[in-house]
Amino acid sequence: MNDASMQQRTDAFRQAYQRVFNEIGKVIVGHQDIVHGVLTCLFVGGHTLLEGVPGLGKTLLIRTLSQALDLKFNRIQFTPDLMPSDIIGTNIINEGADGKRVFTFQPGPLFAQIVLADEINRATPKTQSALLEAMQEQSITVGGTIHQLEKPFFVMATQNPIEQEGTYPLPEAQLDRFFFKLIVNYSGREEMATIIDRTTKGEYPQASKVMDGREIREWQQLIREVLVAPPVQDFAIRLVLATHPEGEFATAETNKYIRCGASPRGAQAIVLAAKVRALLEGRYNVSFEDVRKVYLPALRHRVLLNFEAQAENIPSDRVLNAIMAEVKEKGEPLTVSRA
């Protein structure tokens, strides 16, 4: 594909992305970094974990996104008594026209294209883990039968900070399936004033549908065609390897505070998210700065801190920022060929 054609597709993607962003902006006040993070996950086909105290608009953001997209949407309110069959579905006995009783599958709310897993950390680990197959394989197995989920498929989960009562930490295997973990902070003074105006004066803005599943899949393919130079890709790889304690690229902060580093999914997330950022900047090649911008949301949930970090109340973002400050953009060239 020639440069002119690729530039044209890049411009078209930026316009399509902006349409969705603008529709969300009709309802959501501020939190632009969070909106960009959610849309990045959408356009690469990844799942999103939003963390913040109650009342910051996490659920409203995902609902608004579903209004802007022509996709099937379901919301699941996670509670301690929620069972796996409540979300994936179950086989029930029905009586056929001939009078015989047969088992038929009754799909659960997970059979949608956008699933809002609201307050996911209020459910028990058994129910949380029921999402694993759906998030990774985009299918569900019930009674030995595999049921395929309609594509595109996204899990957009919200959770309260785990320090609050009545919550369960997410299993590490499930955390790794989330493309980004986004931290939703409090609104500022001007944003709060706009929120109060909208919610106390009878204004009820709504987002309009501006994109369907077919178009989303087309943009997902475009993103994968964005070029990544070997030095830039190696920078992303070394950033991930630097989170591995006692590894070749481990830093002092890594060895002191990290118990378990990021998996290869972390490197995949960094590269794919950097490709989205490159397109939004009007480029179809990834820069070192693109990698730096997406580093934290891609890795903050993929590193496990040790007891010392927890005792000193040191967050993963602080450790990761210290690691990024030490990893140089250009490292030693690879000495082995890649297949």
Amino acid at 1: M
Count Cβ atoms within 10 A of the Cβ of residue 252 and give its class: 0-12 exposed, 13-18 middle, 19 or more buried: exposed
Residue 146 corresponds to which tokens in the numbers above?
A: 């595999």
What is the distance between the alpha carbons of residues 175 and 278, in angstroms, rounded to a whole number? 26
How far is Cα of residue 184 from the mean position of the Cα atoms in its chain? 13
pLDDT of residue 276 exceeding 80: yes
| Closest by CA position to 322, among listed 259, 245, 239 | 239
- The counts of H helices and E strands in the chain are 15, 13
Residues 6+ apart with CB under 8 A from 337: none
Domains along the sequence of the chain with CATH: 1-81+111-222 (3.40.50.300), 226-339 (1.10.8.80)
Are the beta carbons of 62 and 158 closer than 8 angstroms? Answer: yes
pLDDT of residue 58 exceeding 60: yes
What is the distance between the alpha carbons of residues 219 and 158, in angstroms, rounded to a whole number? 25
Residues 6+ apart with CB under 8 A from 51: 158, 159, 160, 161, 181, 182, 183, 184
What is the distance between the alpha carbons of residues 281 and 294, in angstroms, rounded to a whole number? 14
| H runs (alpha helix) in the chain | 3-25, 32-44, 58-68, 84-88, 125-128, 131-137, 172-175, 189-200, 213-225, 230-241, 252-257, 264-280, 288-299, 307-311, 316-326
Amino acid at 171: P
pTM over 0.75: yes
| Closest by CA position to 29, among listed 251, 159, 197, 155 | 197
- What per-residue confidence (pLDDT) applies to 160? 83
| Closest by CA position to 277, among listed 260, 299, 298 | 298
Whose tokens are 């659920």? That residue is: 59
What is the distance between the alpha carbons of residues 283 and 274, in angstroms, rounded to a whole number? 11
pLDDT of residue 280 exceeding 90: yes
Are the beta carbons of 64 and 207 closer than 8 angstroms? Answer: yes
Query: Which is higher by pLDDT, 170 or 279?
Result: 279
Beta bridge partners of 102: 94
Model pLDDT for residues 220-257, shown as the tens digit of each residue? 999 999 999 999 999 999 999 999 999 899 999 999 99
Q: How far is CA 260 from CA 246, 255, 296, in A?
A: 10, 10, 16
Q: pLDDT category, 162, cuts 50, 70, 90? A: low
- What per-residue confidence (pLDDT) applies to 98? 73
What is the distance between the alpha carbons of residues 49 and 266, in angstroms, rounded to a whole number? 14
| Closest by CA position to 120, among listed 53, 168, 65 | 168
Model pLDDT for residues 134-147, shown as the tens digit of each residue? 898 888 888 788 88
Q: Exposed e or buried b for every residue in 222-248, given b needs 16+ CB within 10 A? A: bbeebebeeebbbbbbbbbbbbbbeee
User: What average pLDDT score do residues 15-22 get?
Assistant: 96
DSSP, res 213: H
User: What average pLDDT score do residues 45-71 get?
Assistant: 92
